[in-house]
Amino acid sequence: MENSASNRQDTKTWAVRRVGTVTFAISKPKRSRRKLRQSRLKNRRRAR
């Protein structure tokens, strides 16, 4: 069980790519579909 958790942690990390001499392209991991759905359900936007 610990093995799968550590593997999941390794794949979802921040990625840094060097573009120029002082320029970096930083990308963060995407949210999982389950967490995205839960946040949308809990934080519903009301009609304006």
The confidence score (pLDDT) of residue 8 equals 52
The confidence score (pLDDT) of residue 43 equals 86
**Could you give the 3-state DSSP secondary structure of residue 9?**
helix
Whole-model pTM: value is: 0.39
Q: What is the pLDDT along the chain (48 residues), one digit of tens a residue?
A: 455 555 555 567 889 999 999 999 999 988 899 999 998 889 887 776
DSSP secondary structure string, 10-48? HHS--EEEE-SSS-EEEEPPPPPHHHHHHHHHHSPPPP-
Contact in structure between 29 and 14 (CB atoms under 8 Å) = yes
Contact in structure between 41 and 29 (CB atoms under 8 Å) = no
DSSP conformation class of 1: -
The confidence score (pLDDT) of residue 25 equals 93
The confidence score (pLDDT) of residue 47 equals 75
